[in-house]
Amino acid sequence: MNKHTDIDDLFATTRHTEPYIDNAGFSTKVLARLPQRAELSFWKETLITLAFTALGCTLAYLFFPSEQLTLLVPSKVVISPMTLLTITGLISLACASAYWVDKTNRL
Amino acid sequence: MHRTDQDLIKAVVKEDSHTAFAELVKRYQSPLRYSLRQLTGWNEALADDLAQETFIKAHRALAGYKGKAKFSSWLYRIAYNEMVSHFRVARNRELTGHINDFDSVTDDLCETGGDASVDSANQNLHRDLAKAMQSLSDNQRMALHLHLHRECTQQEISDIMSIPLGTVKTLITRGKSRLQELLIEWNTAAKT
């Protein structure tokens, strides 16, 4: 600094040699402290969901071969007592397992 | 495509665009952090904290920015208030240890234009000036820095610091003569 004898001269030198201070994550830190963007209101969110659901349904109705699909659905189902018993047994077992898992906090 | 400050501000206010605000921060972070380093005796950590606070407050108040003053002036106004309020609290707590840490001064200085060959004489100059400025009052320091380094007009300084024009003139005159005295003292000491 001693080579400068005048304040204006000194400031002119610092002005011309002002260093660029690297961002180095500074702006990231600032952004992290900004308040989060306001969430959509309940009604807006509901409206958007419904609108896109309706759009999806319309597209599916227009392009999906629904007639061919209905042909695949069986018109008559024959079930024996033994099969019915097995199915109900399996359902009971699944329910009991779910109840046990819930009560013992296994998940 | 280059977006003007006004475009970015509009995007922040109307769309709450964080990307636009990030662009503003990137645009102004270096000069603001440099100024705050000059005003805090080159205390990098404190200067960066104050700069962060400044940007956060600017984001909060951006809707109220009418564009009458330059965005940089508006930002400096917030920074000045932050600095004054910090030093007031520090003085009240008698914790004014903001002049001490000069050892890490040169660590992350980069020359303008990204030249890797950093001129250490210039680095010392910036540090020494920041140190010398500590002998001035907060107001004198700010007025002198804005006037001589940022080349703001006295009216702009008056607006930034919310003080009358006459006071700005006095602050600059007294600050300059105080710094001039210091400079003469250093020159004399260097010669002997």
- The span from the CA of B9 to the CA of B104, in Å, is 35
Q: How many CB atoms lie within 10 A of CB B5?
A: 17
Same structural domain, B69 and B137: no
For residue A18, pLDDT over 80 is answered with yes
Is the CB of residue B33 less than 8 Å from the CB of residue B51? yes
Same structural domain, B84 and B133: no
User: Could you read off the pLDDT of A63-102 as tens digits, one per residue?
Assistant: 888 778 778 888 888 889 999 999 999 999 999 999 998 8
- The span from the CA of B99 to the CA of B136, in Å, is 12
pLDDT for the residue numbered A6: 85
B 68-127 near A (Cβ less than 8 A): 108-114, 118-119, 122-126
* Continuous H helices in B44-164: 44-61, 71-92, 120-133, 138-144, 154-161
Q: Could you tell me how many CB contacts below 8 A there are between chain A and chain B?
A: 106
Cα-based distances in Å from A89 to A25, A81, A102 = 62, 12, 20
> Which chain B residues are Cβ-neighbours of A25 within 8 angstroms?
none
Cα-based distances in Å from A100 to A87, B38, B49, B145 = 20, 68, 55, 73
Cα-based distances in Å from B41 to B67, B88, B134 = 31, 16, 6
Q: Is B113 within the bounds of a domain?
A: no
pLDDT for the residue numbered B124: 83
- The span from the CA of B26 to the CA of A26, in Å, is 8
Is the CB of residue B57 less than 8 Å from the CB of residue B37? no
Confidence of residue A5 (pLDDT cuts 50, 70, 90): low
**In CATH, what number is assigned to the domain containing residue B17?**
1.10.1740.10
Mean pLDDT score, A25-44:
84
How far does B137 lie from chain A, in Å, by closest CA?
Answer: 17
pLDDT for the residue numbered B100: 44
Sign of the Cα torsion B16, B18, B24, B29 reads: positive
How far does B89 lie from chain A, in Å, by closest CA?
Answer: 23
Q: How many CB atoms lie within 10 A of CB B34?
A: 24
DSSP type of residue B118: -
Domain that holds residue B50: 1-98
pLDDT for the residue numbered B38: 95
pLDDT for the residue numbered B94: 64
DSSP type of residue B62: G
Q: Is B3 within the bounds of a domain?
A: yes
Contact flag A1-B186 (C-beta cutoff 8 Å): yes
- The span from the CA of B10 to the CA of B7, in Å, is 5
Give every CB contact of residue B43 below 8 A, 6+ residues apart in sequence. B37, B98, B99, B100, B101
> Which chain A residues are Cβ-neighbours of B123 within 8 angstroms?
19
Q: Is B5 within the bounds of a domain?
A: yes
pLDDT for the residue numbered B104: 39
How buried is residue A105: exposed, middle or buried, by Cβ count under 10 Å (0-12/13-18/19+)? exposed
Confidence of residue A105 (pLDDT cuts 50, 70, 90): low
pLDDT for the residue numbered B95: 53
- The span from the CA of B55 to the CA of B75, in Å, is 8
Q: How many domains is chain B partitioned into structurally?
A: 2
Same structural domain, B76 and B134: no
**pLDDT tens track, chain B, 192 positions:** 688 999 999 999 998 899 999 999 999 999 999 999 999 999 999 999 999 999 999 999 999 998 888 999 999 999 999 999 999 898 888 654 544 443 333 344 333 433 434 467 777 889 889 989 999 999 999 999 999 999 999 999 999 999 999 999 999 999 999 999 988 887 787 777
Question: Where does a domain end: B98, B128, B162?
Answer: B98
Q: Is B144 within the bounds of a domain?
A: yes
Q: Is B105 within the bounds of a domain?
A: no
**Interchain CB contact of A18 with B (< 8 Å):** yes
Is the CB of residue A15 less than 8 Å from the CB of residue B149? yes
- The span from the CA of B12 to the CA of B62, in Å, is 8
CA B125 to chain centre: 16
**Interchain CB contact of A22 with B (< 8 Å):** yes
pLDDT for the residue numbered B11: 93
Contact flag A14-B129 (C-beta cutoff 8 Å): yes
**Predicted ipTM?**
0.78
**In CATH, what number is assigned to the domain containing residue B150?**
1.10.10.10
